[in-house]
Each structure stands twice: as C-alpha cells, then as structure tokens.
Amino acid sequence: MSLQDAAHAGAAAAHEETVSGVGHEHPSDGKYVQIAIFLGVITAMEVAIPYITEVSGIWLAVMLVLMVIKFFVVVAWFMHLKFDSSLFRRLFVGGLVLAVLVYLAALTSFQYFGDDTTSVDERRGDPPAGAEADH
C-alpha cells in the first residue's frame, strides 16, 4: 500500500467519522438551558455541603464526585465532545490524564519524600515543623 493510498484510506475513515460525529444534530436551546439548570443545582449542593457538615471522609468524596460530574457535563454537552470526532476526545482526555498522573505523582513525591516534612508531622499529630522557631 503506497503512502498516498494510506492517506486516502485514513481520510475516508475520518470522513465517515465526521459525517457521523460532526454532522450530528446538536441539542436544542431548551436542552442547553436544562443542562445549565442542572449545573446550577449541583453548584448549590456543593456550596451547601460545607455549611451542613465538615467536608471530610464520605463528604469529601461526594464533593469531588459532584465536581467531576460538572466538569464532564460541560465538556460533553457544551463543548460538544459527546458528538464530535473521537480524535478531539483523545487529544483532550490525553492531556487531562497526563496532567492528573504527573501531578499526582509529583504531589505524592513532595508529601513523602520532600525535605519539609510538616504535613507528615501533622498527620502524626505532632506540632508543625518550625512552630517552635516562631515562638
């Protein structure tokens, strides 16, 4: 198969994907308003939780889940990633996953292997490092 044939095949496949993806009917204005109301309700829930209870344990998980839901609803519906080509999705999700992995690794490294062990002390219930120097 020549390079030219490969290019033709690739473009034809992408064309097919475009027709089924980009050419998709987008939601109506009413649907967008419904989604915005849904997002507003989730935001209200997020704001209410810290007033009702301390944000730790299960409530921390609930807050993070609500945040992730909001994030992906905007990406899927308002940014049309749900209807668009999968190549766009791969580009964006690739960057997102890379960012999450890199910074989780970086934060974990700083937490456990950094020079300043303040947070480790705090977890043990000891006074923060440097607290004596302040007094």
**Applying CB under 8 A, which residues contact other proteins?**
3-4, 7-8, 10-15, 17-19, 22, 26, 29, 32-33, 35-36, 39-40, 43, 46-47, 49-50, 55, 60, 63-64, 66-67, 70-71, 74-75, 77-80, 85, 87-88, 91-92, 94-96, 98-100, 102-103, 106-107, 110, 116, 118-119, 122, 128, 130-131, 134
**Structure tokens given for 68:** 């992730």
Q: Closer to other proteins by CB, 3 or 124: give it.
A: 3
Shortest gap between Cβ of 38 and other proteins (angstroms)? 10
Closest residue by Cα to residue 64 from 45, 51, 81: 45
Shortest gap between Cβ of 72 and other proteins (angstroms)? 9
CB atoms within 10 A of CB 116: 11
Shortest gap between Cβ of 125 and other proteins (angstroms)? 14
User: What Rg do the C-alpha atoms of the chain give, in angstroms?
Assistant: 23
Residue 118 near residue 134, CB atoms below 8 Å: no
Shortest gap between Cβ of 78 and other proteins (angstroms)? 5
Residue 76 near residue 82, CB atoms below 8 Å: yes
Q: Closer to other proteins by CB, 58 or 122: give it.
A: 122
The rounded Cα 28 to chain-centroid distance in angstroms is 25
**Structure tokens given for 16:** 């097919």
